Amino acid sequence: MKGIYSGYTKTARSLFHWLFNFLPSPVLELNPSTFNDHVMMDKDVWLVDFYAPWCGHCVEFAPVFHVIAQSSVFQRGRKNFVYIVFSQVNDDRWVGLTCIHFHLLVPIFLDKSLAMVNILTTETLECTAMNLQGVVKTGNLDCDKYVDLCHKAGITGYPTVKLFLKQSKFSYGDEIPSQSKDYILTFVKNALKTTTKKSVHDEF
């Protein structure tokens, strides 16, 4: 039955990836037209994940990028959210969920009245405090589909994360040399403080 978790190993990691299939994504799926119009031409700051669908590391990184895109959701006091808390994410034991029971997950995900469903792990608590949402927009680009654009952007490996600031000396963004969410959030935070001064400093 679709929508029922039946992972053979029942690990935290397998459940983590399964749940993300149901979440409305805060990450815009880019194409050459939207990349040019939104990332390259407008005044917003963008964080872009360049990926290939066949890349195992990209599949592993996708939920991390999703968490980064929602980094401030717990700071804004928004309502109609469901919090699913993993006790551990890198453990091979069965996951412990708090607040709700596992068998209640499916009707919750199908409830259209919910604005968003957030998966919170003990490892994401620190990153949520950095409060990037509303300051940085997030998108991803399929380099298997848009080879020429990724070549122009200097993408040589997957996944590659780039920060697009209008003040950057690189026309196709500043590459972030890590896939660690803490490193990425710190990199973005420091870049924003340096380039936008007081207006963004107040956000933090």
| Residue 149 near residue 35, CB atoms below 8 Å | yes
R_g of the chain, CA atoms, integer Å: 18
Q: Which domains does the chain have, with CATH numbers?
A: 12-201 (3.40.30.10)
User: Which of 29-38, 137-146, 169-178 bottoms out in mean pLDDT, i.e. has the lowest?
Assistant: 169-178
Q: Which two tokens stand for residue 155?
A: 């993408």
Query: Residues 36-79: pLDDT tens digits?
Result: 999 998 788 899 999 999 999 999 999 888 888 876 433 333 33
- Assigned token pair, 80: 């109609």
State the angle between helix axes of 12-20 and 56-69 in degrees (0 to 180), rounded to the nearest 10: 70
* Percentage of the chain lying above the pLDDT 90 cut: 31
* Structure-token pair, residue 51: 């990926």
Residue 41 one-letter amino acid: M
pLDDT at 86: 43
- Return the pLDDT at 189: 86
DSSP 154-171: T--SSSEEEEE-TT-SST
**Percentage of residues in the chain having pLDDT higher than 70:** 50
Letter string b/e over residues 99-116, b meaning 16 or more CB atoms within 10 A of that residue's CB: eeeeeebeeebeeeeeee
Residue 162 and residue 174: Cα distance in Å, rounded?
A: 5
Q: Is the bond into 177 cis (omega within 30 degrees of 0)?
A: no
Q: In terms of pTM, does the model score above 0.85? A: no
* Cα→Cα distances 144→48, 52, 63, 150, Å: 15, 5, 19, 9
Per-residue pLDDT at 153 exceeds 80: yes
Residue 83's φ and ψ, nearest 5 degrees, are: -105, 120
The DSSP symbol for 72 reads T
CA distance 41 to 35: 9
DSSP state letter for 133: B
Q: List all residues 6 or more positions away from 104 whose beta carbon is below 8 Å from its beta carbon.
A: none
Q: Has residue 119 got a pLDDT over 50?
A: no
Three-state DSSP at 93 gives coil
pLDDT value for 77? 36
